[in-house]
Amino acid sequence: MPSITEPLWRAVRRAGGLGAALRRASDVLRNEGARGLLRRLQRTVRQEARYEDWIARFDDRPVDDRAAMDALLLTLRERPLFSIIMPVFETPAALLEAAVLSVRSQIYSHWELCICDDGSSSPRIAAFLDSLSREEPRIKWTRLTRNQNISAASNASLALATGDWIIPLDHDDLLRPHALLEVALAAEANPHARLIYSDEDKIDASGTKRFDPHFKPDWSPDLLRSFNYISHLAALKGEDVRKVGGWTLGLEGAQDHDLYLKVTETLDRRQILHIPKILYHWRVAENSTAGSDAAKPYAAAAMASAIASHLARTGREGEVTLLDDAPVARIRYRLPEPAPLATIIIPNKNMPALIGACVASIRSRTDYPRYEILIVDNGSTDEETLRLYDRFRQEGVLIADYPAEFNYSAMNNLGIREARGDVLVFLNNDTSVIGEGWLSELVTHAARPEIGCVGAKLYYEDDTIQHAGVFVGVCGIACHPYRGFEKGDFGYFGRLRVTQNLSAVTAACLAVKRSIALEVGGFDEISLKIALNDVDFCLKVHAAGYYNVWTPFAELYHFESKSRGYEIGPEKRARFQSESEILKVRWEGYVALDPYYSPHLTRTSEAVTIRTE
């Protein structure tokens, strides 16, 4: 276990220095209390210890396993040329030498290193680069006569490149020895791939301490519109980089993010490949964005501009804003005109207080202009409920009767048939709306042509998290990540605060176009009558080629299972086990590895932490 001072000091650096760290701690104290602050500090320390354990037990060892790596190298039928793009400016000698050495130490030798000195005042850098190029013919370099910033220097480096693939490398970062080999193997195994990215971690200024690993999901376009999750290592086809004009001047601090957005606009999802391996070390140094959210304050503004430009190029109408407390973006997509009718489908039986409060919260806290409420009643007999229904009918609420034995899937399918809306919102009767924009947020996403299911952020009564999406194959068959976390928690790499793609979301609050629900055949009312039918539904939608989305900007309370109770009796447990087996067989690939999770994160906990099992 590392001493508590080391990881806390690194947390201070990431926050932007002591002052910024104290301000963030003050915010946590105000929102979550002393317990919340302590919980976060403990989590930081535990994560560092878990990563050290992960490195010892699971990480690749390219130096120790060199013979195995050389054997893999021999299996390659083709050896593409990788052009590594490195802009440099006033780089400390030791850091620049280490970055160059990490390239020269590659197991895969078919590379060229293209360096541009961005007008450094020190003659030492030019002398060093000139000496390098004389010593190593694979190293090319050029120099700008004045400092023009990183985008111009990257483009000057690109002008030197002749390779099939372009790989950006910051002047103080490190490639792992097997990085290019892994990319070459992935490219050969997936000849359609045109953008390949890997996981990464951070190293301290001395290069001796590894920490803060980013174990990434597979391709998630909505996550990329929230922040640059691709980052490093990224390999892009050279012709694609040139076709989009290389790096955009004026977006320094978000220049790589902008490049990834531009290139992926032209690609199919099958052409974007994720290698779930740590292949890149991002150095935490003074004024580095790796070391601090605040080290380059212009970076967040540049990110917002890059995303706004991306929306304009792709014909998506929306407003880009930055969160007040995190360097991530939110897009408020514009509603279609006219706004589509949304049908809110609520299964219910008796429970007048519950369904009454649910409907009242919708009516009093919804700013969306066109919606209808459809209650699917499962044979209510309670007199108070029936009187409530009479009042609801007078107020325009639709009620469809489902008098058979409880079957959640069949009730929702009846709702699909009876709904008049183009967008359906499946909603549990034990929910309560928090913010007025909830339905607008869900519908704007559901109305996007490429989007299937859209899920919301749900809280327990005590303001801890109940639902932030679903990971398949974790904690058995599926789990709700971050269950019980504090409302303001950021989650793993900010994932609790940003819109992103997931394989599945809960139908306790799920929006989808009616046409898509019909296309995939609705919910499985034969094999999955009670549980896991929402996961199955989402996976059908995803398999049909749509992206499912979870948004933290539609918030509701979910008083979970108040109407039917938990699956705790022996009969219920046996049925749940049976339904789990059905899902496991039907969606074997997702259960084995959810594309939006990582094989390096735990499969035994909802906490989304580094695996130790």
The per-residue b/e assignment along 164-177, b for 16 or more CB within 10 angstroms, e otherwise, is bbbbbbbbbbbbbb
Give the residue-averaged pLDDT of 597-609.
Answer: 95
Mean pLDDT for the stretch of residues 469-491 = 94
Per-residue pLDDT tens digits for 530-546: 999 999 999 999 999 99
Between residues 512 and 42, which one has the greater pLDDT? 512
529: left (phi over 0), alpha (psi -120 to 50) or beta: alpha
Residue 228 corresponds to which tokens in the numbers above?
Answer: 């640059």
1-10 pLDDT tens trace: 445 566 665 5
**Picking from 46-50, 292-296, 456-460, 609-613, which range would have the lowest pLDDT averaged per residue?**
292-296
Given pLDDT bands bounded at 50, 70 and 90, which one contains residue 495?
A: very high
554 and 438 Cβ atoms separated by less than 8 Å: yes
Sign of the CA dihedral with 301 first, then 302, 304, and 308 last: positive
Show the domains of the chain with their CATH numbers: 5-58 (no CATH), 66-313 (3.90.550.10), 342-592 (3.90.550.10)
What is the arithmetic mean of pLDDT over 55-83?
95
pLDDT of residue 73: 96
pLDDT at 564: 47
Q: In this predicted structure, what is the pLDDT of residue 565? A: 47
In Å, what is the CA distance from 104 to each residue of 97, 158, 174, 280? Answer: 10, 19, 11, 15
Q: In whole numbers, what is the pLDDT of the chain averaged over residues? A: 92
CB neighbour burial string for 464-482, b if at least 16 within 10 angstroms, e if fewer = ebbbbbbbbbbeebbbbbb
What does the pLDDT read at residue 47? 76
82 pLDDT band (50/70/90 cuts)? Answer: very high
pLDDT at 32 over 80: no
Number of neighbouring beta carbons within 10 Å of residue 340 = 20
**Residue 177: C-alpha distances to residues 94, 137, 200, 226, 388 (Å):** 18, 20, 13, 31, 69
Quick one: pLDDT band at residue 311, thresholds 50, 70, 90? very high
* Amino acid letter, residue 484: G
Tell whether the model's pLDDT for residue 40 goes beyond 70.
no
Residue 571 pLDDT class (50, 70, 90 cuts): confident
Question: Which residues make Cβ contacts (< 8 Å) with residue 542, sequence separation at least 6?
Answer: 452, 453, 503, 504, 548
Q: What is the pLDDT of residue 287?
A: 52
- Quickly state the pLDDT bin for 430 (edges 50, 70, 90): very high
- Predicted pLDDT at 406: 96
- pLDDT in the model for residue 562: 47
* pLDDT of 559 higher than 70: yes
- What secondary structure letter does DSSP report for 295? S
Count other Cβ atoms within 10 Å, centred on residue 269: 14
> How many Å apart are CA 605 and CA 43, to the nearest integer?
14
